[in-house]
Structure 1
């Protein structure tokens, strides 16, 4: 059973993760939208991809640290489930993939759906190895 204090910390960390997601997405969009960037990136959800890959690495790292170095369960829940859970966004990635496909941008949709999945799983594995 999770204590009320841990529950509150998870909720607070989730809010911070969501705010961090907004900041990172905005930074990535500003870099990608600069003049001279490839037109192929226009309308491609690069920010969401970066967020999900980096979040997968972070959760893998935290899980590896918890498994091999005794990171307490409560901290894994707060940092992993709260902060990283609030930061990453599978639902947005899914909607953006469907949007690309509905726009007839098959290559971009498949790259977003499949490519980000492969990169995210690879990043999580790398995080587990580094954390272990």
Structure 2
């Protein structure tokens, strides 16, 4: 199981790195890559866990969920991005920080719920 999680983590982390490289953000700018990563990851987690059954291969959930999607999503970077925006000297960055902080949580939860709903549809 550890090998499945590790392999999935490598794949997910590389995908996140690719997205962050493709969509860089400036200091004080909205961190779109991290936002998109977490929202898409939450959508995928909702779909995945709604679709997997107890009869699924025992390594599928650790590989896809914990590994790939755990490596892909990055709520630690979300926290660091928020902290950097909050400690910026410009007031406009504070507005971006609050929009980012609350917008990410709300959108990620909505995405996970939508993913679960989509995953349960037959």
**Range of TM-score over shorter length:** 0.7 to 0.9
Deviation sequence 1:57-96 (CA, Å, 0-9, x none): 01111011015x8534421111010000000101110010
Larger helix percent: 1
Runs of 4+ in 1 over 4 A off after TM superposition: none
Q: TM-score, normalised by structure 2?
A: 0.87
Partner residue, 1:57: 43
Aligned length: 117
Partner residue, 1:3: none
Q: TM-score, normalised by structure 1?
A: 0.80
CA drift of 1:130 comes to 0.7
Partner residue, 2:72: 87
**Unmatched tracts of structure 2, length 5 or more:** none
1:127 aligns with 2:112: no
Contact 1:17 1:82 (8 Å CA) reproduced: yes
**Unmatched tracts of structure 1, length 5 or more:** 1-5, 34-40
Q: How far, CA to CA, are the matches of 1:54 and 1:71 in structure 2?
A: 23
Partner residue, 1:116: 104
Q: How far, CA to CA, are the matches of 1:22 and 1:58 in structure 2?
A: 18
